[in-house]
Amino acid sequence: NSLTASGTYASRTLANVDQNLLVADSAHVARLTCLTALQRSRPMGAYDTGDDDLKLAVLTKMGERMRQLLLVPSNLLGGGQVSQVTMRNKGGYPTPPPNSRFFPLWQSASLSRCCPPSFQCTYPDLTSVDEPDRAFVVALMADIHSMLIDKRRDIREEAVVVVVSLLQRRRGIMSELLITDIRGEHRMETVDLMNRGGFGALLVAHEATTITEK
């Protein structure tokens, strides 16, 4: 919020391009952190029960901050929202010159920019990821399935909030994941989890509940 909200120290002292660049890198770090935390919350072995409290906390914050988590440079948006011609241009923002006052701040926003040349860094920089919002949604949906059927009701409810938020904010990407054609022995069959598998109904029911509560 300190980077995205108006009236903060960051918004007063940074130029628009500098602020937007930091927002994009911060959102990238937050996405990776959330995915890693969800993976770490799962049982890691026969005698590990996992960490349900961590899982719930991460899901709750993701539901609250999904708008910020999906902030990416406009030329890197997934879901066919931009043409392939405009894809990939240094993460959408120019790299500040090394002698500028902003360069150390820009460098510190990504682990890969801080690593010396002799060190192999596995951190995926934002500029190396095609359609980072799509990559996040795909990875998150792969993890969240088990949480939708979790034994704890509060975890299931927060997982539903996250899925609904994805349906609202990245419907195109979600449709591509939930609707696909499968070639059968004699004909092509469409598997539609969006309209016939419950996800579309989930979104409608959630929006209806929200309107009723208001």
Rounded to two decimals, the pTM is 0.77
Q: How far apart, in whole angstroms, are the C-alpha atoms of residue 106 and residue 193?
A: 41
Residues 6+ apart with CB under 8 A from 86: 75
Q: Along the 214 residues of the chain, how does pLDDT read in single tens digits?
A: 667 777 777 767 776 767 777 888 889 999 999 999 999 999 888 888 889 999 999 999 999 999 999 988 766 666 655 444 333 444 456 777 888 878 888 788 888 888 877 887 778 888 778 888 999 999 999 999 889 899 999 999 999 999 999 999 998 898 888 888 888 778 888 887 777 777 777 776 766 666 666 6
Q: Which two tokens stand for residue 140?
A: 């998150």
| CA nearest neighbour of 18 among 76, 97, 78 | 97
139, 166 Cβ separation under 8 angstroms: no
SS3 191: strand
